């Protein structure tokens, strides 16, 4: 369903929240410098076509601003049934997580903070949140607002009138698919989350979405990947744990390899 048809349905149903979205979808505080629905839809469609390393599924994508307010939700494919339905909210969780745990240089003052900023993808958080990890419990620390996540008519999901748009979604997700968004000058302005395939492919597709959105100005921003050209890239350094349980990440920020995965160093370098 395209934007025009959802607008007509919105008016025909005379649903209260529609008036808010019709009037304010382009005027949400903190969203004016972030992609709108058509731009995000174009980016997730292009990225899904470009990256086929996983199951080659259709995808969901969500963008949030620095305050965690959802600015846009979109999907690839012919309709909202072409993707896993559960991935809509997961994509929003990932966007919120990457934004929530990344910084820019403005964090540095009075001898504390990150002089270059610090960007962490959701893939970078996997190992630290496992039992015994330094961030165990993080995944349950900021619950999703279910009234936002599941509000409004399902027919509007993934359109300019998605009920999440204009509201804080919350949620923390700790596997691949969420990246912080950085504008020129290495300024963090929000996050993007992608879901619908393996967690490894979710990361790769999210990376391409961010690149297509021209919000990957991370050259010089600190990260944990060890690769300045890909500072918040997924890290495959987990080896089996001889004592059982979760595998061990050599650097502490590793992510498991999926059944099919691509070489992350082949992703576009950041700007």
Q: What is the pLDDT of residue 215?
A: 98
Q: How far apart are CA 37 and CA 25, in angstroms?
A: 9
Looking at the domain assignment, is residue 95 inside a domain?
yes
Structure tokens of 164?
A: 């999440």
Q: Is residue 103 part of a domain?
A: yes
45 within domain boundaries: yes
The predicted pLDDT at position 245 comes to: 78
Burial class (CB in 10 A: 0-12, 13-18, 19+), 228: middle
Give CA–CA dist 100/263, Å, rounded. Answer: 27
Residue 21, domain member (yes or no): yes
The number of domains in the chain is 1
φ, ψ (nearest 5 deg) of residue 193: -125, 140
Residue 73 included in any domain: yes
Owning domain of residue 165? 3-266
Q: Is residue 271 part of a domain?
A: no
Q: Which CATH number goes with the domain that contains 138?
A: 3.30.450.150
Consecutive 10-residue runs of the chain (271 residues): their mean pLDDT?
48 48 64 96 98 95 98 97 97 98 98 98 97 93 96 96 97 98 98 98 98 98 98 96 86 95 96 97
């Amino acid at each position: 369903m395209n934007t025009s048809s959802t607008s007509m349905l919105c008016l025909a149903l005379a649903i209260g929240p529609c008036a808010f979205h019709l009037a304010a979808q382009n005027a949400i505080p903190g969203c004016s410098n972030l992609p709108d629905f058509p731009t995000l839809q174009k980016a997730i469609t292009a990225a899904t076509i470009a990256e086929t390393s996983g199951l080659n599924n259709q995808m969901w994508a969500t963008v949030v601003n620095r305050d965690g307010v959802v600015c846009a939700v979109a999907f690839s494919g012919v309709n909202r049934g072409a993707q896993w339905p559960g991935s809509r909210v997961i994509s929003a969780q990932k966007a919120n997580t990457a934004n929530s745990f990344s910084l820019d240089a403005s964090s540095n003052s009075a001898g504390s903070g990150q002089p270059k900023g610090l960007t962490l993808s959701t893939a970078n958080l996997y190992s630290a949140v496992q039992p015994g990890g330094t961030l165990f419990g993080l995944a349950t620390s900021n619950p999703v607002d279910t009234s936002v996540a599941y509000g409004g008519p399902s027919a509007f999901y993934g359109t300019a009138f998605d009920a999440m748009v204009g509201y804080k979604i919350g949620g923390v997700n700790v596997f691949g698919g969420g990246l912080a968004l950085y504008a020129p000058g290495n300024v963090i302005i929000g996050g993007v989350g992608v879901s619908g395939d393996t967690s490894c492919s979710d990361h790769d597709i999210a990376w391409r979405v961010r690149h297509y959105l021209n919000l990957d100005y991370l050259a010089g921003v600190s990260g944990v990947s060890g690769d300045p050209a890909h500072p918040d890239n997924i890290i495959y350094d987990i080896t089996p744990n001889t004592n059982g349980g979760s595998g061990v990440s050599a650097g502490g920020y590793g992510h498991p390899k999926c059944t099919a995965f691509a070489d992350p160093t082949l992703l576009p370098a950041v700007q």
